Structure 1
């Protein structure tokens, strides 16, 4: 029987981290499988977004437990989650572009039907990829393999609370390093800002996983992480949409004024970049 995500008991802080892994992983695996199955009947932007987020959370959880796992096997499992999230994300990227360009002033109304067709074609490919990947088998196998590995690894047990604190510290250091790098980078160097977004998202997921077993409050940190995720996420949406439109400009050129839409996205990207930069201090 599938565990109820709302009633699964939280692991105790003094329990061994190795034993606590399944308590975190099993509900996430169940959720991802359920969402992947749902794509057969519901291919809305929200459904695809939920699936991609679920897979990203799984990837972050496997990162959190990496010190207790074989490096090669852990990297392989995380690559699987990235592959599946990318498959779900390709359609989501078109959804974001369509949503942005549907706003007044973008000048994209003339080629909106072609964007919708491109979205439909990409969805068909995404569905085929996810169905052929056998998500249920992949995720169940990953859970079983990692759980077994944690059971047999010859290393001293470490209390979950201590382990969680170490991993959050490591994630916080990574985020601070990327913030410093973004502060020094020119605004045209988007990769530095994108790295801040990814590091902030990972840290937020770790707080969601381990928050109940940690000592002390983390409301201020979580509040800042949510701001970073929102503003940097909006920036990423614009950058990705601009790139997607440029990649497909030739196919869309006969349907409308591509250049006007690109100029509109360029202005929006610059505004969102200034807003995101303001959070770096």
Structure 2
């Protein structure tokens, strides 16, 4: 991520004419191009490396792209922007199906007695998911899709008649994202513990704001170090909760793979208790905000 940020900073600086304030339209490519390159690199790695890291990196990269397209939504064709963000979500979900098995395997490994019997079957299921992920990403032609999306967005922005100050634009989009996060935090703070959706909304909104701060940090007015620190806390605590919820759901949806195994009940019992613990921890963090 730091390497990507350095690339973005350098390209933004190179695109700024001497003595002129850069516009959001002219700076878009300096943000988007490194992300597109990185996503393509990750997609290629998925086909050569079956380990969890490339899949996780690809999913994160696609989520960052989706957030960037959201940030520039006011300057882009609404219909095209919506379709593009849906595409990024679809590709991230394709990578995520295998990543979800990786997380479940990692969690089950915490109980050696259960992991010893369940892991071989989980690894087998993970192999099937990986084959599907690879096929989906290959058929989608990720490289061409992302490069075409970048070209279209660039063309639209570069031919726009009006120009918006990058700093003012970035400040407004970050402020909009901050307001959205505050609303979701308030809603989740009053929600019942069983209402995981409210907690999940906080996580998604917090992640989007964090990405925006990382994109625009060099040009934003004022300091955002305090809010960024809080966002890291949200992502860590709510991400841990999401891992448990997703793993419990994945195991329940694939009970046929482990039919007749008492270890499945033990695993579900552990996941259920861990979910409650992590839900309390997430709720505790909200009370401090």
Same fold (TM over 0.5): yes
Is 1:55 the counterpart of 2:62? The answer is yes
CA distance in 2, matches of 1:256, 1:18: 59
Equivalence for 2:47: 40
Equivalence for 2:30: 23
Q: How many residues align?
A: 277
CA distance in 2, matches of 1:106, 1:276: 29
Structure 2 length as normaliser, TM-score? 0.92
Alpha-carbon deviation of 1:216? 1.7
CA distance in 1, matches of 2:123, 2:282: 30
Which runs of 5 or more structure 1 residues have no equivalent in the other structure? Answer: none
Residues 178 and 106 of structure 1, relative CA distance in 2, 3 Å threshold? farther
**12-21 or 174-183: which moved more?**
12-21
User: Which SS does the other structure have where 1:107 is aligned?
Assistant: helix
Which runs of 5 or more structure 2 residues have no equivalent in the other structure? Answer: none
Greater relative contact order structure (CA < 8 Å, 6+ sep): 1
CA distance in 2, matches of 1:69, 1:111: 48
Is 1:166 the counterpart of 2:161? The answer is no
User: Which SS does the other structure have where 1:78 is aligned?
Assistant: helix
1:173-196 deviation digits (Å, cap 9, x = unpaired): 000000011011101000000000
RMSD (Å), alpha carbons: 1.6
**Which one of 243, 253, 258 corresponds to residue 259 of structure 2?**
253
CA contact (8 A) 1:35 1:51 kept: yes
CA distance in 2, matches of 1:257, 1:208: 43
Equivalence for 1:149: 156
Structure 1 length as normaliser, TM-score? 0.95
Equivalence for 1:190: 196
**Which one of 3, 12, 21 corresponds to residue 14 of structure 1?**
21
Equivalent residue runs for 1:1-281 within 5 Å: 6-7=6-7, 8-11=10-13, 14-104=21-111, 107-154=114-161, 156-281=162-287
CA distance in 2, matches of 1:86, 1:273: 24
CA contact (8 A) 1:185 1:192 kept: yes
CA contact (8 A) 1:110 1:256 kept: no
CA distance in 2, matches of 1:275, 1:199: 18
